[in-house]
């Protein structure tokens, strides 16, 4: 890997920004010799409107912090899929929430991996941890950032008192991905 552009998309309230922050933090603080940038965008309504986080991970210093052609997409809403899929490179890795996203107009080389993250989060007791389930799945499917680095970033990033539940969510998503790989 030299430089990888990633776009996380969904709607406000799904934890899209936090997912991007965790991956960026894992790469830049807890993994070895990596740099990361994060930019974010969300609608004025906050909860329920479209939002995205753009992360760049590189082995070298990053001079331009904006994602122009994402190589990896993590999509948690149909609106995000419709909006961001055309921006991706032809051979992008596309990670989706199976129950909420149905990709259309895929480019010939795209690889799509899906997980029922909302259902898995509900099984763990809290629907709102679906983003952490997705982060675990992302980690397993991309291998971009070390698993332990991401676990450390999850623990450091979630609200105090929810660490154990969020680590279980991460592990559940990771295990689901390992079974698919």
Domain 3-180 sits in CATH 3.40.920.10: yes
Instruction: Report the candidate in 146, 133, 122 with the shortest Cα–Cα distance to residue 173.
Output: 133
Entry pTM? 0.95
Residue range 102-121, pLDDT digits in tens? 999 999 999 999 999 999 99
Residue 43 has pLDDT above 70, yes or no: no
Report CA dihedral (4, 76, 28, 41) to the nearest 10 degrees: 90
Task: Give percent of the chain above pLDDT 70.
Answer: 96
Bigger pLDDT: 44 vs 92: 92
Mean pLDDT across the chain, nearest whole number? 94
Res 181: pLDDT: 77
Confidence of residue 33 (pLDDT cuts 50, 70, 90): confident
- Averaged pLDDT for residues 25-37: 95
- Averaged pLDDT for residues 142-146: 96
> What ranges do the domains of the chain cover?
3-180
């Amino acid at each position: 890997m030299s430089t990888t552009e990633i776009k996380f998309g969904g709607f406000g309230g799904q934890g899209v920004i936090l997912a991007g922050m965790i991956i960026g933090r894992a790469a830049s603080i807890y993994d070895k010799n990596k740099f990361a940038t994060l930019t974010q965008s969300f609608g004025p309504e906050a909860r329920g409107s479209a939002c995205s986080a753009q992360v760049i991970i590189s082995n070298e210093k990053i001079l331009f912090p904006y994602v122009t052609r994402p190589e990896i997409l993590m999509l948690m809403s149909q609106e995000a899929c419709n909006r961001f899929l055309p921006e991706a490179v032809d051979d992008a890795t596309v990670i989706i929430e199976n129950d909420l996203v149905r990709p259309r107009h895929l480019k010939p080389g795209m690889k799509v991996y899906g997980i029922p993250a909302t259902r898995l989060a509900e099984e763990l007791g809290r629907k709102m941890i679906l983003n952490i389930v997705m982060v675990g799945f992302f980690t397993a499917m991309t291998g971009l950032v070390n698993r332990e680095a991401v676990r450390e970033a999850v623990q450091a990033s979630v609200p105090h008192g929810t660490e154990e539940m969020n680590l279980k969510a991460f592990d559940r998503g990771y295990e689901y991905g390992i079974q698919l790989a």
